[in-house]
Structure 1
Amino acid sequence: MLKSNVGELAALATAFCWSLSATAFELSGKKVGSLSVNYIRLVTGFIFISVFTFFTRGYFLPIDATSKNWIFLSISGLIGFFIGDLFLFQSYLEVGSRVSMLIMATSPPIAALLGFIIFGEKLRLISILGMAITLLGIAIVILSKNPDEKKIKVTHSVKGLTYAFLGSLGQSVGLIFSKIGMGEYNPFAATQIRIIAGFISFTILFIYLKKWDDLKLALKDKKAMLGITIGSIFGPFVGVSLSLLSLQYTSAGISSTITSIVPVTIIPLSMLVFKEKIKLKEILGAITTVAGVAVLFLF
């Protein structure tokens, strides 16, 4: 029974990994800033994946990639790992990783919509319903009605929510370019190329903003470095590995649906680590959001 459910269990483990990495990155970001966390975790994640590919493929670097692989995966890294994560990690500081991960649940609907526009993929009525349910779940969490003024208001930082949405958009567009650029190429090596593009982009940004002193201070902060290391292990390394393992043993729809429960699995961590008081409507909203993604993929 356990063996027959390897794909589903791997997807579930992926959700927990990403919940843990988001929490760890939020903790570190509050100590040393989101830019430094982004930069260091790319380096750390690259080292882990490179060692893994050396033992599994015989290549420490993706030297067997074609020019098409490099071009489109680099664009994917620029949009996803640089622009998208630049906004996402800042949203951790503005609204917290829990709300950010909730907004990131819009990534599958956005990807489906982009697939329809770019690749001409089918977008059925039930898929549109799934998107609507996902947005409803998010609305339950971030909106509330003022009983006195009888107006609906946003309960979280608009700037933070915007950052999280831009992060979700960056991830979705990045995945589209990954789909074009990866083809049959090894997904771990493809991730290496994406990380290289993100690393170069952040290096240019650090040079422009002259943030090297901030980076030095971050490297000296033991607690921040511990959080970044944990986040790098469970995020771009173990999380990605488990998600790929899941896809080998179960359908993409089931894998994506189970993985998308991060807005729910991150709730206990937020309560434990950040002492957040979670309202019942926020739990309901998170569950509704996940249900919307399930409708999008499974029906």
Structure 2
Amino acid sequence: MIKPSKLKGSLLALLATISFSNVYIFSKLAMKDISLPSFGLLWFGLALFYNLLYYTFFSEKKKISQLPKKSKSTLIFIGLSELISISAFFLSIQLTENPSIVSFLANTSPIFVIILGFFFLKTRYNLLAVIGIVITLSGVLLINYTSSGFNLNNFLQPSSIAALVFALFYGISLLLARQQIKSLPPAMVTVCRTFFLFIGFGLYNIASWQIPQYSLNSLFYIGIGSILGPFMGISLTFASLKYVDASITTLIGTSRSFFIILGAFLFMSILPTTNQLLGGLLTIIGIVLITMEDIKKRS
């Protein structure tokens, strides 16, 4: 019988997945009219406002000064890691025609979690996890396989590299959150990461000498997306970690690709190619195997 706490955590993770999948669609639509620095400044400015309201009126009250020294350091590292990962994520969205491809490549994040856990946390994985890694990497290769064969230049194009950078640093954020989730309130983590991203994109605008400009369409899509993604999606993700392990959250999160494919078709009338779809399915299968191994070992 499923424990009520685990059921609650799984439902929170599913809602986070649905919310976060909308980010791929609405951010892509918004950036058709505006630059990445302008987009990020308003997107995370609104998200910071929403998160501060939630933290002030609805969440567990805990001051940063009350946190253990290690938790304070973790909070800073999560903020820096998220700044790199999310910046790379939106760059990949901007450069990729179909946002569902970014989601397939982003599925490699558990591989980086395993590698980092192996070297820094001395975590050991068995054959099933290794098979999952191989299948996931095979999916990534298939995504970049065209009718003329595999071209290394396709794999090394900026959009693919940016998606993999996102996967790496998102994996780092998950590891850090997993280590300190008991002492760090999820709302505080969300506010911290959003603050780092808002300041980061503010500096990006200054460094690029750009005055933020917006169209009516971009304002509409940013308004919706900033609520669903950096507010609801991230808050629900960290909230789920209080009830279930990060491996469960990751497993449920693999379903986001299907929501993104559906959204890309409904809003942009585009679908992935056969190779991209099959490769994406392989990445999902691989991540499921990796996550099942993690769940089995922890239980």
Per the TM superposition, whether the score is higher than 0.5 is yes
Letter in 1 for 2:275: K
- Structure 2 residue aligned with 1:266: 260
Tell me if structure 2 keeps the 8 A contact 1:78–1:201.
Answer: no
Q: 1:15 aligns with which of 4, 17, 42?
A: 17
Matches for 1:17-166 after TM superposition, within 5 Å: 17-57=19-59, 59=61, 62=64, 64-80=66-82, 82-95=83-96, 96-146=98-148, 151-153=149-151, 158-166=157-165
| In 2, Cα distance between equivalents of 1:248 and 1:100 | 28
| In 1, Cα distance between equivalents of 2:181 and 2:10 | 24
Q: 2:291 aligns with which of 280, 293, 297?
A: 297
Farther off after superposition, 52-61 or 284-293:
52-61
Change (3 A) 1:276 1:203: same
Change (3 A) 1:22 1:246: same
Offset at residue 58 of structure 1 (A): 6.2
Tell me if structure 2 keeps the 8 A contact 1:49–1:192.
Answer: yes
| In 2, Cα distance between equivalents of 1:12 and 1:195 | 21
Letter in 2 for 1:88: F
Instruction: Using the aligned pairs only, state the percent identity.
Output: 22
SS of corresponding position for 1:253 = helix
1:279 aligns with 2:277: no
| In 2, Cα distance between equivalents of 1:205 and 1:293 | 34
| In 2, Cα distance between equivalents of 1:248 and 1:60 | 16
Residues 63-83 of structure 1, C-alpha deviations (whole Å, 9 max, x = no match)? 644554343322321222x22
| In 2, Cα distance between equivalents of 1:66 and 1:194 | 18
Letter in 2 for 1:97: P
| In 2, Cα distance between equivalents of 1:67 and 1:199 | 24
Change (3 A) 1:243 1:201: closer
What TM-score results when the alignment is normalised by the length of structure 1?
Answer: 0.85
Matches for 1:136-285 after TM superposition, within 5 Å: 136-146=138-148, 151-153=149-151, 158-179=157-178, 184-211=183-210, 213=211, 215=212, 217-218=213-214, 221-285=215-279
Offset at residue 107 of structure 1 (A): 0.8
Letter in 1 for 2:207: Y
Gaps of 5+ in 2: 294-299
- Structure 1 residue aligned with 2:296: none
When you count helix as a share of all residues, which structure comes out higher?
1
Farther off after superposition, 117-126 or 101-110:
117-126
Offset at residue 177 of structure 1 (A): 4.0
- Structure 2 residue aligned with 1:288: 282
Tell me if structure 2 keeps the 8 A contact 1:130–1:295.
Answer: yes
| In 2, Cα distance between equivalents of 1:192 and 1:284 | 37
Tell me if structure 2 keeps the 8 A contact 1:246–1:255.
Answer: yes
Matched pairs, number? 289
Letter in 1 for 2:283: T
- Structure 1 residue aligned with 2:297: none
| In 2, Cα distance between equivalents of 1:152 and 1:224 | 36
